[in-house]
Structure 1
């Protein structure tokens, strides 16, 4: 006969895994939204900057699948399936922890490399159509100019996308804005700071989601091991 303890843990774990599976879908959506947000500026993004939301989506997909393993193991009262479920959660938890540590260690290095990539790209603005389109789109969307400011364009003509009046008056006023108004209508914030702010904002979302996943995983491991221990104990008493 099934004990009250086993019955309670079994159904708590089953409900937990249903919520876990649903949260996996939510996490996939959150990762996709973050990826789409930074994807507008992927021309400048290093793989290291695009990797976190992609990793989050992959982990969430695995979590969704693993959650069903936990549900099945709980309903079937299978010791082996529950242990496999707990081990899978532990592996996912370790991977997330490792990725978080690496991201923290290389945070400054990535920032320096990103700034260097932006400066290299800006130097090719006049000679490369892809760079030109990317910079004009970025400066228009983020309302910024240059890497660290308009002075970065010394040696090249200041592009129309550094001028906020372009949105109102079109290309005909671009020359006036850039060459005559002497900065009155120019964006003065560098695109590096704007992009870095956007990346940091998205990073906070990913960190929050990651911490939430980690907490849920720890709870899942505890519940699975508890139920597996109870099943083994009751089978031994029979």
Structure 2
């Protein structure tokens, strides 16, 4: 009877973990989508290690949700086959999450170089664009920066009239404030360092979240294995 009672506790704890997995799955999807949106506002839409990593995080979140449902069905019906399937899939997800966390750490500096390259490309195309609501202007206003390395980068960009900077470089943004500007009235720091460090920190947060969820999944796998052992031994756990 002690084993029976113990297995009842294991089953209840497994249900708790399955609910936690569902919450984690929704969290992973939300974090991945949010981070993907942030990257789309700062880095071009072409495939990069950072964007691929976030797609993997979103896919893992969706798959984890489905696996949690399989686990719920297996625990409820005490079905040995479903529980083994749950353990195998959850183990695979855990390995992918650990790999994603490691990739996030490895590519943290790659984010900076990606952003630097893309920002300079956007600067070159800036004179051809409609500046209203442009990503580059938005970044310069939000992060209080001007140019890639500093405001003098705009000297190499053919803006009209010559020698101006975008109005988004101004401390107090008004129409035409970048024409005949005074250095004290604009942001002088470059955007690559400011935005790049911020982006890198966000990638690390996503990687840390994936690693944390993987740790919780280890406990879920352990409880699921205990339940499978009980089912195979023929104990009644209801």
TM-score with structure 1 setting the length: 0.83
Aligned residue number for residue 115 of structure 1: 116
Q: Report the secondary structure of 1:187's partner residue.
A: coil
Following the alignment from structure 1 to structure 2, what is the Cα–Cα distance between the partners of residues 47 and 113? 8
Shift of 1:218: 0.6
CA pair 46-139 structure 1, distance change in 2 beyond 3 A: farther
Following the alignment from structure 2 to structure 1, what is the Cα–Cα distance between the partners of residues 85 and 131? 49
Aligned residue number for residue 160 of structure 2: none
User: What is the number of equivalent residue pairs in this alignment?
Assistant: 228
- Which of the pair is proportionally richer in helix? 1
Q: Report the secondary structure of 1:171's partner residue.
A: coil
Following the alignment from structure 2 to structure 1, what is the Cα–Cα distance between the partners of residues 113 and 178? 32
Following the alignment from structure 1 to structure 2, what is the Cα–Cα distance between the partners of residues 49 and 3? 48
Q: Report the secondary structure of 1:206's partner residue.
A: helix
Listed as ranges, the gaps of 5+ residues in structure 2 are: 158-162
Shift of 1:203: 2.1
Aligned residue number for residue 186 of structure 1: 186
CA pair 111-200 structure 1, distance change in 2 beyond 3 A: closer
CA pair 208-49 structure 1, distance change in 2 beyond 3 A: same
Shift of 1:83: 0.9
CA pair 127-45 structure 1, distance change in 2 beyond 3 A: same
Following the alignment from structure 1 to structure 2, what is the Cα–Cα distance between the partners of residues 121 and 173? 21
Deviation per CA, 1:113-147: give whole Å up to 9, x if none. 43223223322322444899332222122221111
CA pair 92-44 structure 1, distance change in 2 beyond 3 A: closer
Listed as ranges, the gaps of 5+ residues in structure 1 are: none
Aligned residue number for residue 94 of structure 1: 95
Aligned residue number for residue 65 of structure 2: 64
| 8 Å Cα contact 1:6/1:231 also seen in 2 | no
TM-score with structure 2 setting the length: 0.83
| 8 Å Cα contact 1:11/1:74 also seen in 2 | no
Shift of 1:154: 2.2
| 8 Å Cα contact 1:69/1:81 also seen in 2 | yes
Deviation per CA, 1:58-102: give whole Å up to 9, x if none. 212211111111111111111111111011111111112222333
CA pair 131-186 structure 1, distance change in 2 beyond 3 A: same
1:198 equivalent in alignment to 2:198? yes
